Amino acid sequence: MLGCCHYYCCYSYYAMSISVDVHLLSGKVASIEVEADESVESLKRSAQRALVVPKRARLLKPSGEVLDGAQTIAEAKLMSGDKLSLHVNQVQLKAIRQSQQTSAFAALLGDGSVVTWGDGTIGGDSSAVQDQLRDVQQIQASNGAFAAILGDGSVVTWGNAFHGGASSAVQDQLRDVQQIQASNGTFAAILGDGSVVTWGNPFHGGDSSAVQEQLRDVQQIQASPSAFAAILGDGSVVTWGHAFYGGDSGAVQKQLRDVQQIQPSNGAFAAILGDGSVVTWGNAFHGGDSSAVRDQLRDVKQIQASNGAFAAILGDRSVVTWGYADQGGDSSAVQDQLRDVQQIQASSQAFAAILVDGSVVTWGNPEFGGDSSPVQEQLRNVQHIQASHSAFAAILSDRSVVTWGYPDCGGDSSAVQDQLRDVQQIQTSSQAFAAILVDGSVVTWGNPEFGGAFAAILVDGPVVTWCIPEFGYDSGAVQYELRVFLSLARLYDFDLFTIGGGSGGVRGSRWAAMQYGAKVAIAELPFAIVSTKLTAGGLGGTCVIRGCVPKKLLIYGSHLLEAGAALQMM
């Protein structure tokens, strides 16, 4: 991975008020106060301001997974002792995957430009707005369109109009946009004044007119496939969209007070309140009804969701589940094992919990990873788990990988097991996995027809995509742009860049490197014996190369013969 700056953040996840130490490798450090219910984006921005870091940066977990800025510290499952990296000038990739035949990619380059490829009807072709895609800060994707926030707070959209690709009707309102959230077919933008602008498919939350007056002082928004839930500054919640997917919270509205965070499933929402209790609403078959476990939902710290169920980690590190039983809503068979739970990951119909001792407990639909018994003895010292639609992949402390779940969708990695050594991170598409090794190579397994949803940023320059070319996953048409940017990013990725290698430039650069550990580069024109305007230079500058220093050498040299003769006469 490329990046000119790396910072490390350490904090306690369970504390409400968290002190974060953000370190620059040069030794520069900033201590930042952050609340557990604050967003990751807020943490990142505080670090950037304190350390004077450019806007285009992203926080990564130790596994290499990019943290979602819209999530809270708690939702991001950041635990005490975690070390995060803040990478600047990175290529950021967003993908839309409607089916095995339909995908589109958008790559945000470090210079703020955007390159797209894939199915043009769902965002793979941005040519109509390419001139507007300058100084892009972040990109969000619905199920058929992209939305980009520019440095001036305006928004550019492209892709399927029915999925939010056309924002002309609200373009005048899209000013000072801070963040964007997306459902399947709609975008919702939070403005600097805390108001919200929505556009896209009205059945997926694109029409928020019924609650527009309530959308004031909005702090964050979460989305199910067809509905939105916004947390306001006073801790209350406003919902809109399809009622079947959680768009109507009327039945629990009075309970939605002092809300700290919200987690969506495919058809419901679960809100953690300030006292650690939980309020749910939406489709009962997707976890919208938690009445059966309400008395157990106390001191809840975080919640994870499958398609139709929720799993909550309590303060004592035990777990409470509810929702559709076959999708992980019933954990009774493993309840006695769910102690000292550190984190939980979910496939579409199953859960996997990593315990403090590095072992793993699973439940839910066996075919979707809910049964890990065939590999249970191998699941020791597990560091991280990734999930596809139907399978899990665990990275162990020795950087090997263990997989389970539906074999054709990544649950069986036996064909590449010998290659899965020194694994640094794992990415997933809906039915396949891609492991990035320490040496930068990539190993893939799972359904080959779904492997094309991958895009790899190589250290030597290009972004590579793979699968079935005729499905539109080939990035060959934009390889030049991706290669040129990544090459430049690699060559000019420094803390201090000095133009001019004269006495001042050299001295200042040396001081920054020696005193502060900065990564420094100096630009100077090529050296030439005889200087000509704008075509020749040389490290040292005029004073050293053509000014007082060579003049003194000539003057002193001219006196050597006379000085030697005088010495002989003494």
- Per-residue pLDDT tens digits for 203-225: 999 999 999 999 999 999 999 99
Q: Which of 349-358, 509-518, 524-533 has the highest mean pLDDT?
A: 349-358
Closest to 122 (Cα-Cα) out of 156, 99, 138, 149: 99
Cα gap 519→512, rounded to integer Å? 8
Name the least confident of 314-328, 359-373, 500-514: 500-514
Residue 48: domain span: 17-87
pLDDT of residue 151: 87
Q: What mean pLDDT comes out for the span 95-123? A: 73
pLDDT of residue 460: 41
| pLDDT value for 22 | 65
Q: What does the alpha-carbon distance between residue 556 and residue 550 come to, in Å, rounded to a whole number?
A: 10
pLDDT of 228 higher than 70: yes
User: With bands split at pLDDT 50, 70 and 90, how would you rate the model's confidence at 11?
Assistant: very low
Q: Judge whether 54 lies within some domain.
A: yes
pLDDT for the residue 87: 65
Could you please report the per-residue DSSP string of 34-78?
A: EETTSBHHHHHHHHHHHHT--S-EEEE-TTSPBPPTTSBTTTTT-
Q: Is residue 95 in some structural domain?
A: no
Q: What is the pLDDT of residue 490?
A: 45
**Nearest C-alpha neighbor of 65 from the set 323, 308, 424:** 424
> Packing angle between helix 548-558 and helix 560-569, nearest 10 degrees?
40
Q: Which of 46, 69, 87 is the last residue of a domain?
A: 87
Q: Which of the pair, 98 or 143, is modelled with greater confidence?
A: 143
Q: And the tokens for 156?
A: 């550019």
Establish if 338 belongs to a structural domain. no
**Average pLDDT of the residues in 359-380:** 95
Strand 401-405 with 391-396, pairing? antiparallel
**Nearest-angstrom CA–CA distance, 112 and 375:** 44
Give domain status of residue 269, yes or no: no
According to the model, what pLDDT value does residue 449 have? 53
Quote the pLDDT of residue 372.
95
- Does 173 score more than 60 pLDDT? yes
Residue 3 pLDDT > 50, yes or no?
Answer: no
Contacts made by residues 338-341, CB under 8 angstroms, sequence distance 24+: 341/313, 341/317
User: What pTM did the predictor assign?
Assistant: 0.67
Domain with residue 75: its CATH number is 3.10.20.90
DSSP structure class, residue 440: S
Mean pLDDT of 468-488: 48
Our measurement of the distance from residue 315's CA atom to the centroid of its chain's CA atoms, rounded to an integer in Å, reads 27
* 158 occurs within a structural domain: no
Please report where in the chains the tokens 């100084």 appear, as a residue.
Answer: 135
- What is d(CA 202, CA 225) in angstroms, rounded to the nearest whole number? 12
Report the distance separating Cα 173 and Cα 209, nearest Å: 14
For the chain, what percent of residues have pLDDT higher than 70? 75
Residues 6+ apart with CB under 8 A from 181: 70, 140, 187, 188, 190, 221, 222, 223, 228
Do the Cβ atoms of 475 and 463 come closer than 8 Å? yes
Nearest Cα residue to 471 out of 73, 225, 23, 118:
118
Tell me the C-alpha distance between 143 and 385, whole Å: 25
pLDDT of residue 280: 97
pLDDT at position 306 is: 95
Q: Residue 180: pLDDT above 60?
A: yes
Does 535 fall in a domain?
A: yes
Calculate the alpha carbon distances from 138 to 57, 118, 176 in Å.
Answer: 10, 19, 13
Higher per-residue confidence, 370 vs 62: 370
Please, which residues bridge with residue 224 across strands? 227
Each residue's pLDDT tens digit, 266-275: 999 999 999 9
Q: Is the pLDDT assigned to residue 459 strictly greater than 50?
A: no
Structure confidence at residue 541 as a pLDDT band (50, 70, 90)? confident
Tell me which residue of 93, 88, 38 sits closest to 59, measured CA to CA: 88
Q: What is the Cα–Cα distance from 447 to 410, expressed in whole angstroms?
A: 7
Mean pLDDT to the nearest integer, 502-519: 77
pLDDT digits (tens, 9 = 90+) for 229-244: 999 999 999 999 999 9
Evaluate whether residue 513 is within a structural domain. yes
Residues β-bridged to residue 33: 19
pLDDT of residue 16: 62
**Residue 522: what residue type?**
I
Q: What is the DSSP string of 292-328?
A: GGGGG--SEEEEEE-SSEEEEEETTS-EEEEE-GGGT
Higher pLDDT, 380 or 442: 380
Q: How confident is the model at residue 404 (pLDDT cuts 50, 70, 90)?
A: very high
Top pLDDT among 174 and 467 is at 174
Q: Rounded CA gap, 319 and 302, in Å?
A: 10
Report the number of distinct structural domains present in the chain.
2
* CB burial readout 226-246, b (16+ within 10 A) else e: bbbbbbbeebbbbbbbbbbbb
What amino acid occupies position 395? Answer: I
Calculate ∠ Cα 44-50-55, nearest 5°.
50
pLDDT at 170: 96
Is residue 263 scored above 80 in pLDDT?
yes
The pLDDT of residue 128 is: 94
The CA distances from residue 527 to 46, 494, 508, 530, 553, in Å, are 43, 23, 21, 9, 19
**Stronger pLDDT, 322 or 551, i.e. the higher one:** 322
Contact 198, 189 (CB under 8 A): yes
**Lookup: tokens for 266:** 């495919």
pLDDT digit string (tens) for 53-103? 655 566 766 555 677 877 887 777 766 556 676 665 555 667 666 554 557
CA distance linking residue 177 with residue 196, whole number of Å: 9
What pLDDT, on the 0 to 100 scale, is given for residue 461? 41
- Residue 102's pLDDT is 58
Average pLDDT value for residue range 388-404: 91
pLDDT for the residue numbered 129: 94
Instruction: Flag whether pLDDT at 347 surpasses 60.
Output: yes
- Please tell me which residue, 316 or 570, carries the higher pLDDT value: 316
User: Which residue carries 């992949």 as its tokens?
Assistant: 393
Which pLDDT score, from 0 to 100, does residue 110 have? 63
pLDDT of residue 28: 58
- Pairing relation of β-strands 520-523 and 496-499? parallel
Per the model's pLDDT, the better-predicted residue between 508 and 332 turns out to be 332
Of 57-61, 220-224, 394-398, 414-418, the poorest mean pLDDT is in 57-61
CB 415 within 8 A of CB 445: yes
| Burial class, 398, CB count within 10 angstroms (exposed 0-12 / middle 13-18 / buried 19+) | exposed
- What is the pLDDT at residue 218? 95
- Whether 64 is covered by a domain: the verdict is yes
Distance between CA 175 and CA 167 in Å, rounded? 13
